[in-house]
Amino acid sequence: MTFLIMTKQKKSSVLLIYTGGTIGMMQDVISGELRPFDFKSLTKQIPELNKFDIELSSIAFKKPIDSSNMHPKVWIDLANIIKNNYKKYDGFVILHGSDTMSFTASALSFMLENLNKPVILTGSQLPIGIIRTDGKENLITAIEIAGTLEKGKPAVNEVCIYFEYKLYRGNRTFKYNSSHFDAFKSPNYPALAEAGVEIKYNKAAVLKPTSKTLKIHTSLDNDIAVLKLFPGISKKITSAIINSSGIKAIILETFGAGNATTEPWFINELKKAINKGIIILNITQCLEGIVIQGKYETSSQLKKLGVISGADMTFESAVTKLMFLLGQNISTKEISKLLPKDLRGELTS
């Protein structure tokens, strides 16, 4: 006679980190005004959380932050919270305002090197206390994914955004809609998972786990300018931006596949900036597609000058990658080598 011995699998554990945002708001019955609610009462608003076979703990910022006030200092706080609790939990869920969620997700992806556990950002378009809120489903599924173990290991091991039934790589997203529940898109990279009757993982798209130890980077440098091109942009304004005091890098938002005006004055302004040691990163204004410098005459001069191609990086990823690299105390030459290199799955090599 053969006996099957059943061993009880250890419960997974998830740390919920509340920074602020619409998901944590309650509507005042009298005034209709939105106000932050007591985070400890979350299980009263979402009793389904009590049914999870997951050990759930929470940390809440003392003063909730509107995502429009998000700052690199907060990213550093979040990175340190994850570092200090990394060995205690199998996954992390960050509740965050949707407006700047892609910036935070992108920043954390660079700050958390050798990440082997899920860090999932989520939020909502409607407050958790409103009947039609999207916050409940977003939060419940984000926790479920963060706590999912396959053969004792996390199903996902990167910084992600979960919103409206889809899990995305965080540094590939941008917020494209302020009035629909499907607020985010990842145009140049497929979803990592889709939630329906079951949660289906796109395992080929998920970053491969590493055996290396988690390394936290908390030095960021935001001395960055953005120059978005448009037909008729003036020399006066362009020069003012490029020659602003203290600039170390410029994100050049170009047309199509990385194209820009070939006016001599414009090319000369870029050349002077590069000669001063300013890094110029070329990303496209298009929401989908890739920069290919040299494909057209209007981008070949940029390539010759030493403008760096951002490939298919989002604006959010370009900003935070520059902040991360500028903060590493490495040479301009080394930064120029690392910018076009895929570090955390943020661009297509």
Q: Using CA atoms, how far apart are residues 240 and 250, in angstroms rounded to an integer?
A: 12
The answer to whether residue 55 scores a pLDDT higher than 80 is yes
Span 303-310, mean pLDDT? 96
Coil, strand, or helix at residue 73? helix
Run of H or E including 120: strand 119-122
Reported pTM: 0.92
Across 176-191, b (16+ Cβ under 10 Å) vs e yields eeeeebebbbbebbeb
Residue of 2, 7, 19, 22 marked catalytic? 22
What is the model's pLDDT at position 6?
A: 36
- Burial (0-12, 13-18, 19+ Cβ within 10 Å), 31: exposed
pLDDT of amino acid 5:
37
Residue at 346 is within a domain: no
Asked if residue 95 and residue 239 are part of one domain, the reply reads no
Q: What is the pLDDT of residues 117-165, one digit of tens each?
A: 999 999 887 777 677 777 788 899 999 999 999 988 999 999 999 998 9
* Same domain (yes/no): 63, 184: yes
Average pLDDT over residues 259-279: 96
Average pLDDT of 279-303? 92
Give residue-wise pLDDT tens across range 6-16.
334 568 999 99
CATH number, residue 120: 3.40.50.1170
Three-class DSSP category at 188: coil
Measured between alpha carbons, how far is 326 from 120 in angstroms, rounded to an integer?
Answer: 26
User: What is the rounded distance in angstroms from the CA atom of residue 194 to the CA atom of residue 3?
Assistant: 38
Residue 295, domain extent: 224-338
Residues 185 and 242 placed together within one structural domain of the fold: no
- Asked if residue 145 belongs to a domain, the reply is yes
Are 159 and 277 part of one and the same domain?
A: no
The full length of the chain comes to 349
Tokens of 107: 């920043």
The mean pLDDT value of the chain amounts to 90
Q: How far apart are CA 47 and CA 177, in angstroms?
A: 29
Measured CA to CA, the distance from residue 262 to residue 205 in angstroms comes to: 38
Q: Which residues, 6+ apart, have CB-to-CB distance to 289 below 8 Å?
A: 188, 256, 257, 312
Please indicate whether residue 22 is annotated as part of the active site: yes
Residue 345 lies in a domain: no
What is the number of domains present in the chain? 2
**Which segment of 6-10, 157-161, 242-246, 318-322 scores lowest on mean pLDDT?**
6-10
57-86 in b/e form (b: 16+ CB < 10 A) is eeebbeebbebeebebebbbbbbebbeeeb
> Which has more pLDDT, 124 or 275?
275
In a domain, residue 171? The reply is: yes
Instruction: Specify the pLDDT at position 180.
Output: 75
- Exposure string of 145-168, with b = 16+ CB inside 10 Å and e = fewer, is bbbbeeeeebbbbbbbbbbbbbbb
Q: Average pLDDT of 185-200?
A: 95
**Does a structural domain hold residue 5?**
no
Tell me what the mean pLDDT of segment 27-54 comes to.
69
